[in-house]
Every structure is written in C-alpha cells, then in structure tokens.
C-alpha cells in the first residue's frame, strides 16, 4: 500500500461490538495521510474511544509522524534510557546486558488513565506492538461515558462538584503540588460526561473524611469496571492502538516474565485542564 492509497475512500471503521473500540482498515500508517483521512480517523476515535490498526510496519519516526496528526507527541515524564527517538517510550520486560530496555515489566497494571496525576493529564496515547508474549499481556479498556450514564440520579447528584486527588506511586513522577481533578469530567471535544477516577491513581476525595472517601472511591472503582463497560484487545504484532484517556481507563493483564514483550508508546498531553 502506498501513500496515494491512504485516501478516505479506502477506510472502513468496524466497531468491536463491545463497550467501546473499533478497528480501522484500509490504511498504511507508515505513509502520509491527507487531511480528509485524518478527519475520519479522529471522528472514529471520538465516537469509539479506542481505535486500532492491524498489520502495520512502522519505524519510530513513522509512529511519531502519525501521532503528530492528532497533537504534539510529548516526551514522557518518566526517566528512561537514552534512545534514538525521545518521543517514544519503550514498554517492555526485555533486558539487555542486565538492564531493562523499557518500563512497566510483566506484571498486571491496574485500571488507570495515563498521566492523570499531572495537572493537564493525558489526552491521546498510542501503543505499537513489536513483540508480544504467547500468553497474557492483553489490554482492557473501560468506557467512562457509559459508566457515568449508568449511574442513578442520586449518585450523579452526589458526585457533582467533587474532586479527587491523583498520585503516582513513584514520587519522582508527581508534580510538586498534588493534583486533583473533578470526579466527573466533561470531554472537551464531545461535550459528554465521563467518570474520571481510577484504582491506580485516584487516592482521596477532596474535603471528605477518609473512611467516606475510600468507601465512595471503592464503590466507583467496582462500578466503572463492570464487565458491561469493558472491552479487551488481544494484541497481534503490527497492531497500533490509539485511545482517549479523557473518556477511558485501561489495564494490562500480566504475562510470564520468561516471554518477551516490546511495545512502543507515544503520548499527547498537557493540552487542557479537566473540567466538570
């Protein structure tokens, strides 16, 4: 497939049939995109919260260029080894000469929204699969729109105006001042309301007694991660997945540390402060 074939007429958007997500076919992400094609991808992304592209062969500059169609890729706040393309974050359990080539290892990662511990958190993340294990390592997303819509009116009223603190477990990644965001946010592009608390980063409800705060957060975590709000992506080599951190959370299933997993991530953030 060459650049001229990345025309909008070639695109198919195929919903997963789950709580969110769609596959987009007919494109070669290593080649330039006309504006009309980018517009279709963006709309599918906003409609489905997660979109994925199979069978891609991408260099690191290719991935950065594709990311740039949707915003400016930013170097991750986490300290990383020297690498040829600084906008790429290596997500891997592989070691070379006894040292990890990337971050996040092989264990389970709980549901979270990327960089929510920052004052202006993640907007779009992209992950490209280079090597995957034979078992485990799937990624799940949950739909914050659907979870909020499913709340009863009494809970919606209770959550109105509440804010939650967000902290990373690695202190060096947190800003100097503890970040808090609305528990219910309004997406800046769609105008839809979504829950914005995660088991991994949301720690307390601002101004609420500790026991009440923890009870409420525990209730919300259990609710928004119900099976009906979740879709699971089984990775294949060559997949590029693009997701909206403003409307979703995601988690990674563990996998054997004896098996290699190499993923390359780009991210866009520091665009807007979440608002209720």
pLDDT tens column, 86-109: 899 999 999 988 889 999 999 999
**Domain, as residue range, for 126:** 3-142+233-245+253-269
Catalytic residue among 48, 76, 106, 112: 112
**Mean pLDDT (the chain, rounded):** 95
Please compute the mean of the pLDDT values over residues 4-15 and round it to a whole number: 91
270 pLDDT tier (thresholds 50, 70, 90): confident
Decide if pLDDT at 1 tops 60. no
pLDDT value of position 84: 79
Residues 130 and 150 in one domain: no
Catalytic residue among 76, 106, 114, 246: 114
pLDDT tens column, 171-203: 988 999 999 999 999 999 999 999 999 999 999
pLDDT value of position 4: 57
Please compute the mean of the pLDDT values over residues 246-268 and round it to a whole number: 97
Does the annotation mark 250 as catalytic? yes
Does the annotation mark 181 as catalytic? no
pLDDT tens column, 46-101: 999 999 999 999 999 999 999 999 999 998 887 777 777 889 999 999 998 888 99
Decide if pLDDT at 160 tops 80. yes
Residues 39 and 168 in one domain: no
Residues 240 and 110 in one domain: yes
pLDDT value of position 104: 93
Based on the structure, what is the number of domains in the chain?
Answer: 2
Residues 180 and 76 in one domain: no
Residue with structure tokens 């958190």? Answer: 121
Residue 245, both tokens: 């951190």
pTM: 0.94
Decide if pLDDT at 206 tops 80. yes
CA-to-CA dists, residue 216 to 111, 197, 202, 231, 245, angstroms? 17, 11, 11, 24, 22
Q: Are 140 and 251 in contact (CB under 8 A)?
A: yes
Residues 179 and 263 in one domain: no
Decide if pLDDT at 155 tops 90. yes
- Write the secondary structure of the chain as one string of H (helix), E (strand) and C (coil): CCHHHCCHHHCEEEECCCCCCEEEECCCCCCCCCHHHHHHHHHHHHHHCEEEECCCCCCHHHHHHHHHCCCCCCCCCCCCCCCCCCCCEEEECCEECCEECCEECCCCEEEECCCCCCCCCEEEEEEEEEECCCCCCCEEEEEHHHHHHCCCHHHHHHHCCCEEEECCCCHHHCCCCCEEEECEEECCCCCCEEECCCCCCEEEECCCCHHHHHHHHHHHHHHHCCHHHEEEECCCCCCEEEEECCCEEEEECCCCCCCCCEEEEEEEECCCCCCC
Catalytic residue among 250, 251, 252, 261: 250
108 lies in some domain: yes
Residues 219 and 89 in one domain: no
Please compute the mean of the pLDDT values over residues 233-246 and round it to a whole number: 98
Q: Are 91 and 239 in contact (CB under 8 A)?
A: no
Residues 21 and 120 in one domain: yes
Catalytic residue among 76, 168, 181, 265: 265
């Amino acid at each position: 497939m060459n650049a001229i074939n990345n025309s909008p007429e070639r695109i198919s958007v195929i919903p997963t049939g789950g709580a969110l997500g769609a596959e987009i076919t007919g494109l070669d992400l290593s080649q330039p995109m006309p504006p009309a094609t980018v517009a279709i991808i963006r709309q599918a992304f906003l409609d489905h919260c997660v979109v994925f592209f199979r069978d891609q062969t991408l260099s690191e500059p290719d991935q950065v260029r594709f990311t740039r169609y949707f915003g400016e890729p930013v170097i991750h706040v986490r300290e990383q080894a020297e690498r040829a393309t600084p906008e790429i974050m290596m997500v891997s359990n592989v070691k070379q000469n006894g040292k990890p080539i990337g971050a996040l290892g092989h264990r389970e990662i709980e549901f979270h929204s990327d960089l929510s511990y920052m004052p202006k958190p993640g907007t779009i993340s992209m992950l490209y699969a280079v090597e995957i294990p034979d078992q485990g390592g799937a990624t799940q997303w949950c739909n914050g729109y659907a979870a909020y819509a499913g709340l009863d009116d009494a809970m919606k009223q209770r959550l109105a105006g509440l804010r939650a603190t967000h902290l990373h477990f690695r202190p060096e990644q947190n800003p100097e001042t503890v970040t808090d965001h609305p528990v219910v946010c309004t997406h800046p592009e769609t105008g839809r309301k979504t829950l914005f608390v995660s088991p991994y980063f949301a720690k307390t409800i601002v101004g609420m007694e500790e026991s009440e705060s923890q009870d409420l957060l525990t209730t919300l975590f259990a609710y928004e991660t119900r099976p009906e709000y979740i879709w699971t992506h089984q990775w294949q080599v060559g997949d590029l997945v693009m997701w909206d951190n403003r409307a979703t959370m995601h988690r990674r299933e563990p996998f054997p540390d004896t098996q290699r997993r190499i993923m390359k991530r780009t991210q866009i953030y520091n665009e807007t402060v979440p608002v209720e």
